[in-house]
Amino acid sequence: MEKLWLNVKAFEVAFSLFFACALYAVWSIQFGTAAGGVVGGAGSDSFIIVDRINHTSHWAWYYQSYLSQVGGQGVLLAGLFKLLNALDVAYFALLSSNVFALLTALSVSVAVPFIYRNVGFFGVLLVFVLFASSRWMYSFAYSLYWVLFTLILPLTYSIACGGMMGAGRRPRHLFLLGLAFIVFLKSICGYEYITTLTILACAGYVVSTVQSKQGICLRSMIWIFAACLAGFSVAFLLHLVQLYAIHGWDGVHHIFGRILMHSGGDGAAGRADILLGRLQLEGGMQAAIDKLSTDLQGHQLLFFWLSFVQYFSIDALSLFSVKLSFGVFSILSGLAALRCVYVLIKRGAGQAIPVDYPWALAAFLALLAALSWQVLAWKHMTIHYHLNGLVFFVGIVPLSSLWLLMFIKQAFGCSWVGPDVRYVLFALLAIVPSALLIGQQWAHVEAQARQLQFLAGNPGVEFVKGRLDKLEVQAMPRGMTGIEIPRGLGLASTRIVVGGWAFSSVAPAEIEVKVKGVMVKRLVPDGHRADVARIYPEGPVNTGYMLSTVVPSDIDLQDVEVWVVDALGNRLELTKRG
């Protein structure tokens, strides 16, 4: 055992794997909570891949109904589904979604040994907190469409292996070949953010020079850019061949039309409805709203600018009650750019380059990486505010935060990790999975207590009060559900709308919506009801609730139950009939 601790490489590998498992565990809990118990929940746009798997027996292996990408992940999963002779598409898709999330956690952990070696344990802890507390990670990690690990890998791979660029001809060629393959893999799964990940690969190389001590070489960055371009080009040529095989020259023209549409090169005015909705919520933007509403074509520059700045106000992460926007981290990256200028000026005066300089330059490159996609595909950015936060998070948030940590460490002469601390690190990190297991067990015990109390005939209705003011069910067109896996399977679906008020006088309460006895949605009342407060002044401030959820089933009102349940197991059915 002592030899294991003395072997730095063995420790770092174990540390990285532990990091990935803990991160995946946190994401699993967050994703399950965000899904709210909805059957068939998966990452954004997974329905496209589920649809491809569902048609495995009917389509040629290279066929795609969604022509904007090669769909490599769909082809691979469909082939694996056929090879395994799997029977249940939904189960296979859910399993694949979790595998993708684990691979995403592993892709982040690739850079953990380097960060531990050069920043210290607190640097690793900082990265863990950043990736664990961002909805952009846990919600997209489970997506079969976005394949998030292919977006993260160019950065983390370059951080971990970028030193090979200065280690001789053979290592350099191996590194560039590996990077080209990663970008190829990303490109056949989707072209989104291709400029961003290319510049992030350069940023990762810059960071790697901290350890190699060889300095930042512009020629190496050009080679890295060329490798990324090569990977993309091969994927794009493969896509053209695929499109021609499916739809002939019409298919080839389709992809070029999409490129022009997303970049604004088609001359169309674009869509401003989503931006206008956001501006109305902000308030004080009526003049801009009027201009964009009446003459969008004549105010394209205003359209671009207002769409551009919206992203800086979007939450990058949320830790407990603290939320930080992308604007905060963009400012940090801007300060890092100023730091680079200052260092270069001092270098001209004969001073040595400080250790935080590569981190500062990488943070600035991360900002340029995000802005590159903002400019190149700006029409794409005007309609996908719920997706494109990924552009900012993957590079700007971790690199600007690590630069700030290194700057503080250098300014105050901090030394946070020494060889004797390794015994403590595993003990500290063991708290994470232990706390997660305890939390899961507590939830299991709480659920059992609720069931026992209910079955014993003592539901505690005297403590729980509430009323159902609204209950509607609306049949939705087949395949139009917002739940990814049922949408991909083309299942019938129904929207349920529920509203009213509820509270418990002895413990926190929440609303449970059940369909045919299966719980499909849970929420905590979060709206103030003045009418309820007048009648029940002893109640909590927020008693009102309103929710809308979609279930992958054809149902009617008789199938829906709405319950008020508190933390002690007291419950009241609001839909009790007869």
3-state secondary structure 340-399: HHHHHHHHHCCCCCCCCHHHHHHHHHHHHHHHHHHHHCHHHHCCCCCCCHHHHHHHHHHH
- In angstroms, the CA 577 to CA 571 distance is 16
User: Looking at 33-47, 74-88, 214-228, 532-546, which range is the least confident one?
Assistant: 33-47
Give residue 492's pLDDT band: very low, low, confident or very high (50, 70, 90). confident
Report the candidate in 314, 366, 363, 374 with the shortest Cα–Cα distance to residue 335.
363
22-73: per-residue pLDDT in tens?
A: 898 888 877 765 544 444 566 778 888 888 888 888 888 888 878 788 888 9
User: Residue ranges per domain, the chain?
Assistant: 1-268+314-413, 272-308, 464-573
Cβ-contact 23, 432 below 8 angstroms: no
Q: Which two tokens stand for residue 262?
A: 């997303």
Mean pLDDT over the full length of the chain: 82
Fold of 464-573: Immunoglobulin-like (2.60.40)
What was the pLDDT predicted at 418? 46
Give residue 87's pLDDT band: very low, low, confident or very high (50, 70, 90). low
Judged by DSSP in three states, 321 sits in coil
534-547: per-residue pLDDT in tens?
A: 888 888 889 999 98
Q: Which residues partner with 515 through β-bridges?
A: 518, 560
Q: What is the DSSP letter of 493?
A: E
Predicted TM-score of the model (pTM): 0.77
Residues above pLDDT 90, as percent of the chain = 27
- In angstroms, the CA 130 to CA 67 distance is 34
Residue 170: count other Cβ atoms within 10 Å of its Cβ: 9
Residue 99: count other Cβ atoms within 10 Å of its Cβ: 13
> Distances in Å between the alpha carbon of 300 and those of 224, 276, 289, 296?
35, 14, 13, 6
What was the pLDDT predicted at 207? 94
- In angstroms, the CA 509 to CA 460 distance is 12
Q: Is the dihedral of CA 207, 211, 214, 215 positive or negative?
A: positive
Give residue 460's pLDDT band: very low, low, confident or very high (50, 70, 90). low
At residue 349, does pLDDT exceed 70? no
Q: Which two tokens stand for residue 472?
A: 């509607």
* DSSP character string of 407-474: HHHHHHT-----GGGHHHHHHHHTHHHHHHHHHHHHHHHHHHHHHHHHHTT---TTTEEEEEEEEEEE
Residues above pLDDT 70, as percent of the chain = 84
- In angstroms, the CA 81 to CA 336 distance is 47
- In angstroms, the CA 144 to CA 90 distance is 12
What type of residue is 104?
T
- In angstroms, the CA 368 to CA 373 distance is 9
What was the pLDDT predicted at 226? 96
* DSSP character string of 129-153: HHHHS-HHHHTTTT-TTT-HHHHHH
Q: Which two tokens stand for residue 557?
A: 């009102």
Give residue 108's pLDDT band: very low, low, confident or very high (50, 70, 90). very high
What was the pLDDT predicted at 384? 75
> Distances in Å between the alpha carbon of 163 and those of 190, 453, 474, 517?
28, 62, 58, 58
User: Looking at 46-50, 123-127, 224-228, 417-421, which range is the least confident one?
Assistant: 417-421
352-398: per-residue pLDDT in tens?
A: 778 889 999 999 999 999 999 888 887 777 777 777 788 889 999 99
Q: Is 465 left (phi over 0), alpha (psi -120 to 50) or beta?
A: beta
- In angstroms, the CA 287 to CA 280 distance is 11
Q: How far apart are the first and last CA of the chain?
A: 68
Give residue 479's pLDDT band: very low, low, confident or very high (50, 70, 90). low
Which uninterrupted H or E stretch holds 323? strand 322-325
* DSSP character string of 508-556: -EEEEEEETTEEEEEE---EE-HHHHHH-TTS-SEEEEEEEEEESS---
The counts of H helices and E strands in the chain are 24, 10
What was the pLDDT predicted at 32? 66
3-state secondary structure 554-571: CCCHHHEEEEEEECCCCE
**What residues contact residue 559 under an 8 Å CB cut-off, 6+ apart?**
515, 516
| Look-up of token digits 């009241």 | 572
- In angstroms, the CA 449 to CA 569 distance is 7
